[in-house]
């Protein structure tokens, strides 16, 4: 028999769960502005929906099967989390583009993956880990970019090209 909350709804749909969905929404939305400002393919809406949806899926795995539990049924909520990771990897793969020798979208795909993890943590009732990882994301994307430019051979390092041209010669002979 399914337990009912005081207000007649099945358990798993109360203040605790709403309290876990709220941080997932807010923290997922907090991750996105950096991607939005840089005009990346996955922005505010995508990141918010991925994290919020991941939190709901974790809550469903925690509470959604209480009516089938019994002495003969064993549930493993971690299986749902594993499926979220697989699905997000599929979405992330769609964000990565390879054109000639340039790979684009790798960081955006990683951020979408991290946003799902933040949503999963919030949905799992880990209110310390979700904001710590959100802060870690902001540290990595905002503070690591300037030092990365100074790493020799970095793709973000500015490069110089010197062009010497003799007037009247070459393809612009009449320029």
Q: Which tens digits make up the pLDDT trace of 122-163? A: 988 888 999 999 999 999 888 887 887 777 766 666 777 888
pLDDT at 174: 61
Does position 4 have pLDDT exceeding 60, yes or no?
no
Quick one: tokens of 54?
């991941």
CA-to-CA separations, 119 to 28, 75, 131, 165, in angstroms, rounded: 7, 21, 10, 57
* CB-CB neighbours of 166 under 10 Å: 7
Exposed, middle or buried by CB within 10 Å (0-12, 13-18, 19+), for 51? buried
Question: Which single residue is written with the structure tokens 């390092």?
Answer: 157
Given pLDDT bands bounded at 50, 70 and 90, which one contains residue 1? very low
pLDDT at 97: 84
Q: Per-residue pLDDT tens for 102-120?
A: 788 888 888 999 999 999 9
Nearest by Cα to 108 from 44, 16, 175: 44
Cβ atoms of 42 and 112 within 8 Å: the answer is yes
CA-to-CA separations, 163 to 110, 156, 160, 171, in angstroms, rounded: 38, 22, 10, 14
Does position 90 have pLDDT exceeding 50, yes or no?
yes
Higher pLDDT, 7 or 66: 66
Does position 121 have pLDDT exceeding 50, yes or no?
yes
Start-to-end C-alpha separation, the chain: 87
E strand or H helix at 62, and its extent? helix 44-63
Quick one: tokens of 151?
């790493």
pLDDT at 116: 93
- What DSSP assignment string belongs to 118-132? HHHHHHTT-TTHHHH
Given pLDDT bands bounded at 50, 70 and 90, which one contains residue 81? confident
Q: Per-residue pLDDT tens for 11-48?
A: 677 888 888 899 999 999 999 888 888 887 788 888 89
| Percentage, residues of the chain above pLDDT 90 | 18
Range among 83-87, 90-94, 111-115 with highest mean pLDDT value: 111-115
Quick one: tokens of 120?
């999963």
Does position 91 have pLDDT exceeding 70, yes or no?
yes
């Amino acid at each position: 028999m399914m337990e009912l909350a005081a207000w007649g709804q099945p358990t798993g749909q109360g203040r605790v769960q709403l309290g876990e969905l709220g941080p997932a929404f807010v923290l997922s939305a907090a991750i996105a502005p950096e991607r939005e400002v840089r005009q990346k393919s996955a922005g505010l809406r995508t990141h918010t929906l991925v994290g919020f949806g991941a939190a709901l899926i974790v809550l469903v795995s925690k509470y959604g099967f209480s009516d089938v539990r019994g002495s003969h049924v064993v549930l493993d909520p971690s299986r749902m989390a594993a499926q979220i990771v697989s699905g997000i990897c599929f979405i992330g793969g769609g964000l990565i583009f390879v054109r000639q020798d340039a790979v684009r979208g790798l960081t955006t795909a990683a951020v979408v993956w991290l946003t799902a993890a933040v949503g999963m943590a919030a949905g799992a009732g880990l209110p310390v880990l979700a904001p710590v990882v959100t802060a870690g994301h902001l540290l990595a994307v905002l503070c690591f970019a300037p030092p990365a430019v100074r790493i020799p051979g970095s793709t973000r390092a500015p490069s110089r090209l010197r062009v010497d041209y003799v007037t009247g010669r070459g393809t612009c002979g009449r320029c």
